[in-house]
Amino acid sequence: MNPMNYIYLSAALFAIGAFGVLFRRNAIVVFMCIELMLNAANLAFVVFARINGTLDGQVVAFFVMVVAAAEVVIGLAIIMAIFATRRSASIDEANLLRS
Amino acid sequence: MSTVLAATDGLFPAPVLEYKELAPVLIVLGAATLGVLIEAFLPRTLRFRAQLVVTFGGLGLALAALFLAGEQNSILAEGAIAWDGPARFLQGLILVLAVVAFLLFTDRKIDPGRDAFAPRVSAVPGSPEEQVLTQKLIQQTEVYPLALFSLSGMLLFPASNDLLMMFVALEVLSLPLYLLAGMARRRRLLSQEAALKYFLLGAYSSAFFLFGAALIYGYANSLRFSVIAAATASGTSSEALLLAGIGLIAVGLLFKIGAAPFHEWTPDVYQGAPTVVTAFMAATTKVAAFGALVRIFYVAFGPVRDQWLPLMWVISALTMVVGVLFALTQQEIKRMLAYSSIAHAGFLLTGVVALSPKGVSAILFYLVTYGFATIGAFGVVMLVRDGAGEASHLSAWAGLGKRSPGVAALFSLFLLAMAGIPLTSGFPAKFAVFSAASASGASWLVLIGVLTSAVAGFFYVRVIVLMFFTDPQPGQTTTVAIPSLATALALAVCAGVTVVLGVFPQIGLEVADRASLFVR
A residues 15-34 closer than 8 Å to B (CB): 17-18, 21, 27, 30-31, 34
Q: Residues of B with CB below 8 A from A30's CB?
A: 200
CA distance B44 to A54: 51
DSSP for chain A, please give it.
Answer: --THHHHHHHHHHHHHHHHHHHH--BHHHHHHHHHHHHHHHHHHHHHHHHHHT-SHHHHHHHHHHHHHHHHHHHHHHHHHHHHHHHS--BSSS------
Predicted confidence (pLDDT) per residue in B324-345, tens digit = 999 999 889 999 999 999 999 9
Between B151 and B386, residue with greater pLDDT: B151
A31 to B335: CB separation less than 8 angstroms, yes or no: no
What phi and psi, each to the nearest 5 degrees, are found at residue A90? Answer: -80, 135
Sign of CA dihedral B337, A22, B150, B358: negative
Strand partners, B160: B81
Confidence (pLDDT) at B400: 86
Alpha helices, DSSP H, located in B106-187: 128-135, 143-156, 163-181
Confidence (pLDDT) at B1: 36
Distance of CA A51 to the CA centre of its chain: 24
Answer yes or no: is A20 within a domain.
Answer: no
Predicted confidence (pLDDT) per residue in A4-61, tens digit = 899 999 999 999 999 999 998 899 999 999 999 999 999 999 999 999 888 889 999 9
B residues 202-221 closer than 8 Å to A (CB): 203-204, 207-208, 210-211, 213-215, 217-218, 221
CA distance A94 to B193: 6
Answer yes or no: is B151 within a domain.
Answer: yes
CA distance B224 to A75: 30
Based on its alpha-carbon atoms, the radius of gyration of chain B, rounded to whole angstroms, reads 23
Eight-class DSSP state of B301: S
Q: Residues of A with CB below 8 A from B186's CB?
A: none
B204 to A60: CB separation less than 8 angstroms, yes or no: no
Q: What's the one-letter identity of residue B66? A: L
Q: Report which of B385, B394, B406, B380 is spatially closest to residue B470, judged by C-alpha positions.
A: B394
Answer yes or no: is B11 within a domain.
Answer: no
* Count of other CB atoms within 10 angstroms of residue B1: 5
Answer yes or no: is A48 within a domain.
Answer: yes
User: Using alpha carbons only, what angle is made at residue B333 by residues B331 and B339, rounded to the nearest 5 degrees?
Assistant: 85
Answer yes or no: is B183 within a domain.
Answer: yes
Range of the domain at B210: 19-514
Q: Residues of A with CB below 8 A from B4's CB?
A: 53
Answer yes or no: is B198 within a domain.
Answer: yes
The mean pLDDT value for A63-83 works out to: 93
Answer yes or no: is A15 within a domain.
Answer: no
Predicted confidence (pLDDT) per residue in B171-185, tens digit = 999 999 999 999 988
Between B208 and B122, residue with greater pLDDT: B208
What phi and psi, each to the nearest 5 degrees, are found at residue A42? Answer: -60, -45
Answer yes or no: is B292 within a domain.
Answer: yes
Give the total number of structural domains in chain B: 1
A37 to B207: CB separation less than 8 angstroms, yes or no: yes
Does this model's pTM top 0.90? My answer is yes
Share of chain B above pLDDT 70, in %: 98
pLDDT surpasses 70 at B23: yes
Note whether B193 and B233 are within 8 A (CB). no
> What is the rounded average pLDDT for all residues in chain B?
89
Answer yes or no: is B8 within a domain.
Answer: no
B188 to chain A: nearest residue by CA?
Answer: A85
CA distance B240 to B326: 36
Note whether B518 and B298 are within 8 A (CB). yes
Predicted confidence (pLDDT) per residue in B29-68, tens digit = 999 999 999 999 999 889 999 999 999 999 999 999 999 8
- Here the ipTM equals 0.94
Answer yes or no: is A36 within a domain.
Answer: yes
Q: B387-391 long-range contacts, Cβ below 8 Å, gap at least 24?
A: B387/B477, B388/B186, B388/B187, B389/B111, B389/B185, B389/B186, B389/B187, B390/B186, B390/B275, B391/B478
pLDDT surpasses 80 at A89: no
Predicted confidence (pLDDT) per residue in B355-382, tens digit = 888 889 999 999 999 999 999 999 999 9
CA distance B165 to B148: 18
Answer yes or no: is A11 within a domain.
Answer: no
Strand partners, B76: B81
In sequence order, which residues have a C-beta less than 8 Å from that of residue B194 and are 6 or more positions away? A97, B181, B182, B268, B269, B271, B272, B273
CA distance B297 to B101: 29
Answer yes or no: is A17 within a domain.
Answer: no
Answer yes or no: is A35 within a domain.
Answer: yes
Q: Report which of A28, A45, A99 is spatially closest to residue B207, judged by C-alpha positions.
A: A45
Answer yes or no: is A82 within a domain.
Answer: yes
Q: Which residues of B145-157 are buried (b: 16+ CB within 10 A; e: fewer)?
A: bbbbbbbbbbbbb
Tally the C-alpha atoms within 13 A of residue B143's C-alpha that lie toward its C-beta.
Answer: 29
Range of the domain at A35: 25-86
A52 to B221: CB separation less than 8 angstroms, yes or no: yes
Between B317 and A97, residue with greater pLDDT: B317
Mutate to test the interface with A, among B129, B192, B269, B334 (most CBs of A within 10 A): B192
CA distance B423 to B505: 9
What phi and psi, each to the nearest 5 degrees, are found at residue B111? Answer: -90, 130
Give the total number of structural domains in chain A: 1
The mean pLDDT value for B73-78 works out to: 83
Answer yes or no: is B50 within a domain.
Answer: yes
A–B CB contacts, 8 A cutoff, strictly below: 145
Q: How far is B168 from chain A (nearest CA, A)?
A: 7
Residue B83: its H or E element: strand B81-83
Tally the C-alpha atoms within 13 A of residue B162's C-alpha that lie toward its C-beta.
Answer: 20
Answer yes or no: is B433 within a domain.
Answer: yes
CA distance B352 to B296: 11
